[in-house]
A = this chain, B = another copy of it.
Amino acid sequence: MARTQGSHSDITGPRVRAAALRLFASQGYAAVSMRKIASEVGLQVGALYNYTADKQSLLFDLMNEHLQALLEARANASANGDPMDRLQEFTAFHIRYHEERPDEVFIAYMELRNLSPENFVVIEKLRDRYEGELEAILSDGVRAGVFDLAEPKVSARAIISMLNGVTTWYRRGGRLSLDEVETVYWNMVRKAVSR
C-alpha cells in the first residue's frame, strides 16, 4: 500500500496541463481564468494550486516542455552530409512535428508576450537554438556552393515562417494529404535556396 487512496496527483497533474494547453490555445492565455481550467478538469479552483505555483508557471511550463521536446526530437539529426538532404529532412520534420502538436505550436508563438520577462528570455533562447539549426544547414550549403543565399540567418527565419503557416490552415481530412502538402512546401523551399 504505497499510495493513499484518493491520491491522484500522478494523473491529475497532466490533466491540468492538458486542459490549460487546450484552453490557452483556443482562447488565449489572458482570456482563460483559473476557474475555467479547474472546471475543465472537474476540480475547484483551490485544488489547481497543488499542481502549479501560479497561472504564469502553467504557461511557462507548457512552452518550455514543448521547446525542450522539439530540440530533443532534433537531437538525432545528422549535422553532416549533403546540405540539400539535411534541408529536406528538416522541412519534413518541421511540418510533421508541428502538425501533430497544433496547440503547443500555437501557444509557443502567440503567447510570448504573456511570459514574464525572465521566462521570456529562457523561451527565446530555446527558439533561437532551433532556428540556429536551420541556419547552420543553410550556411553549410552556401559554403558548399549548393545554395545561393545572401543572408542565411534571414532566410532561415523566412523558411520557418513559411513552414509555420501550414498549421494555420491545414486540417486532416481536407483536400490535400499531409504528404501532398509536404511536397508542395519542399518544392518551394528547395527552389528558393538553390542557385
A interface, CB within 8 angstroms of B:
26-28, 30-31, 110, 113-114, 149-151, 154-155, 157-162, 164-165, 168-169, 176, 180-181, 183-185, 187-189, 191-194
Number of copies: 2
Residue of B30, B151, B193 near A28 (CB, 8 A) is B30
A2–B17 Cα gap in the complex (Å)? 61
Q: With A31-B30, A161-B161 in contact, is A176–B154 under 8 Å at CB?
A: yes
11 extra interchain contacts, Cβ-Cβ under 8 A, other than A28-B113, A191-B194?
A28-B28, A28-B30, A31-B114, A151-B180, A155-B184, A155-B188, A157-B165, A157-B169, A158-B162, A158-B165, A160-B165
A110–B113 Cα gap in the complex (Å)? 12
A93–B134 Cα gap in the complex (Å)? 28
**Shortest CB distance A149–B (Å):** 8
